[in-house]
Structure 1
């Protein structure tokens, strides 16, 4: 900023260092894979870091974000990238000092926290600031500065204090945003509404090349975007491409996000250490290197804490977020610890693999974490926020049952243990929110779908994709079959969009927002249906629109 009024005047350029761990190294512009360690050429003659405080070009082309809100803290994120699609965003080898501010008003008249952070080359000049000492259940605004360059302003919000009883929580959830298949009109709509928090449930990017002309977007892009992502440079470039979208930036700036990942952040349908099998990384060792690259780039581009920083090919994704005694979110990871898909993946009838009592989609440790949490009964609404459908989804008309092996249908014992465990522990209102299917599906949850008399334990709201699958339609043949063959499924839709939710002590209200067309920049967004679940009753009620 220029002129006499400089709200950043007086901030100290203190460096913020984090512990680094080394895993593997490979060649390429990144000089290392998801490997954290010093790079050469970063020190002055006396051994101290040489830092830049001025940049000739605007560095905030990828926008700003906040995330992982707690009652007294929130993470602020940005990544310096004057030329976003070049390695390291077009920046040289030296660290860059970034100033940040948090205020109680969007004009920054009441600044309550401020400081500085070092953007480093080995983290691709990303910045993660864990701002402490904030007040519970409050709105804040934040921004960054490097020299004369000031970032866009973002809005964030902390969670309620432990033991508080908020009267309402308003949040949104989304997933699956293939860049080349559609515009992010749904995010423009999401940003226009005020949410307390936003969940992204996976497939933030796709590893596939975007194709000549970037599909419906018709853009001229660098050659590396035409390739499938394998190296760290390629994953970083793909995140940068996605984050250049103005509607996605607006959605990030509108509220704090809580993010997990699914398969395409690495590659399609991977399972633990097992690659899909028909990819550029056919062996397990090569896949672990690729997984480490993907995890590293994910962390560099997400508003998450240092505790989510990956160590080689491992990252801690599952964690909890409490909104007083109203809602608790169990953010899950159904990729990193799962057994390989049964029956060679795809869709199949229930089989010895999918029915094997020893197989798991969560891993034993995460399953115990879930069940122990259920026993605490700390909130009126207990939410599983994760990647893909728990409910059985028979996808073939007629007597034969054919279900997808990549969803919880391929891990029946996991479904029985988790849902049955929730019932045994007296969970009052169990709700699952998920994505992955590129369609909206709302279902009643049962531990045993083979038993027609099995009780309904909870409710599941699967949201459609932001853009993956292009325009879609109100219902395709697959959706009509799902409705006809699965009596526990109460709603299906095959358009693009996202879901807004309002939770009160009395009810859960889901607003399915759909876009008429995503293959053009200015589609129309509307409410397709409003569905409610009442406290203590997992059945689904239509309160607006059509079922």
Structure 2
């Protein structure tokens, strides 16, 4: 898609499917955007000059059209300070608060991700969004703080090379102390520990399989954080491939992944390797149960997590 009408058409096309319409009518949604809403692995600095088929050369114009179509077709309330701001939070009574992030609009261009000091080249969320997230996490009275993140924290998600050196789409860049975008995460995790923000769980996506990851400072290079879980959900209706390698910087341990051993890559949805996750909180015990499921509604994995007090 390139024009506003073409981006609108992408959303309208999905509504031809009876299952998509049923989902829209029955399931409440909290929406954040994906790179494919604009262009694979895009950032505000993406150069369109080498992209065949694009008549325009402005990624900013492309992104603006895509975002407008998304806000027209999906249930996202306009923000009073920034009409099309994606990051926001939702309170679900005393038990849960969801912090929805935007790791697309403010990021620096993908690169080798090896900078040793924070700066413009290491941005993923950007200073304003990070400050907002810190403030709202520290102020939250919810038992569980659920961070909905576009990108997984500890998975290596490649994006080609720069002068023969691997380039990265997500936070992770390989073993060692935090570098590049990892500096933003390291600072956030340290803040959560210092402020004693309890019961933080990350829910992430982007990769095309489901997984459960446990982040433990005892297994990490960077140790200034409180242990936490990350649950990767999907794909709900897309090609299936992976799994991605884990990065030990923050002690990411893969506890479960949904892919059968030796799976041929890029399996179509018709193969049935589509997945989703659920988080259920017991209102009496405040215990959370995380579960990953397949399209047959079979529970593949689950974990009960006690709330810290």
Indicate whether the TM-score tops 0.5.
Answer: yes
Give the corresponding residue for 2:90.
321
Give the corresponding residue for 1:263.
35
Instruction: Tell me how far apart the structure 2 counterparts of residues 413 and 447 of structure 1 sit (CA, whole Å).
Output: 16
Query: TM-score if structure 1 supplies the norm length?
Result: 0.46
Decide which structure has the larger Cα Rg and report it.
1
* CA 1:451–1:511: 2 relative to 1, 3 Å: same
Instruction: Tell me how far apart the structure 1 counterparts of residues 278 and 189 of structure 2 sit (CA, whole Å).
Output: 24
Say whether residues 1:292 and 2:64 are aligned partners.
Answer: yes
The count of aligned residue pairs is: 278
Say whether residues 1:254 and 2:254 are aligned partners.
Answer: no
Say whether residues 1:414 and 2:184 are aligned partners.
Answer: yes
Instruction: Tell me how far apart the structure 1 counterparts of residues 123 and 63 of structure 2 sit (CA, whole Å).
Output: 20
Indicate the structure with greater helix content: 2
Quote how far apart the aligned CAs of 1:465 are: 0.6
Quote how far apart the aligned CAs of 1:506 are: 2.7
Quote how far apart the aligned CAs of 1:499 are: 0.9
* Residue in structure 2 matching 1:498, options 272, 276, 296: 276
Question: In the alignment, is the contact (CA less than 8 A) between 2:154 and 2:246 conserved in 1?
Answer: no
Where does 1:357-368 land on structure 2 (aligned, <5 Å)?
357-358=118-119, 359-368=122-131
Say whether residues 1:336 and 2:99 are aligned partners.
Answer: no
Quote how far apart the aligned CAs of 1:250 are: 1.2
Quote how far apart the aligned CAs of 1:468 are: 1.7
* CA 1:367–1:446: 2 relative to 1, 3 Å: farther
Quote how far apart the aligned CAs of 1:370 are: 0.8
Quote how far apart the aligned CAs of 1:456 are: 4.2
* CA 1:368–1:403: 2 relative to 1, 3 Å: farther
Where does 1:438-453 land on structure 2 (aligned, <5 Å)?
438-445=208-215, 451=221
Secondary structure of 1:371's aligned partner: helix
Give the unaligned 5+ runs of structure 2: 159-164, 174-180, 260-272
Instruction: Tell me how far apart the structure 2 counterparts of residues 385 and 249 of structure 1 sit (CA, whole Å).
Output: 24
Question: In the alignment, is the contact (CA less than 8 A) between 1:434 and 1:462 conserved in 2?
Answer: yes
Which deviates further from its counterpart, 237-246 or 482-491? Answer: 482-491
* CA 1:275–1:530: 2 relative to 1, 3 Å: farther
Deviations 1:207-242 (A, max 9, x none): xxxxxxxxxxxxxxxxxxxxxx11111111111111
* CA 1:468–1:316: 2 relative to 1, 3 Å: same
Deviations 1:87-141 (A, max 9, x none): xxxxxxxxxxxxxxxxxxxxxxxxxxxxxxxxxxxxxxxxxxxxxxxxxxxxxxx
Instruction: Tell me how far apart the structure 1 counterparts of residues 69 and 129 of structure 2 sit (CA, whole Å).
Output: 24
Give the corresponding residue for 1:161.
none
Quote how far apart the aligned CAs of 1:306 are: 3.6
Give the corresponding residue for 1:352.
114
Deviations 1:289-348 (A, max 9, x none): 21121111111101122438986xxx21111101122111111100101111122xxxxx
Say whether residues 1:304 and 2:73 are aligned partners.
Answer: no
Give the unaligned 5+ runs of structure 1: 1-228, 344-350, 396-401, 516-523, 538-547
* Residue in structure 2 matching 1:467, options 237, 251, 260: 237
Question: In the alignment, is the contact (CA less than 8 A) between 1:416 and 1:448 conserved in 2?
Answer: no
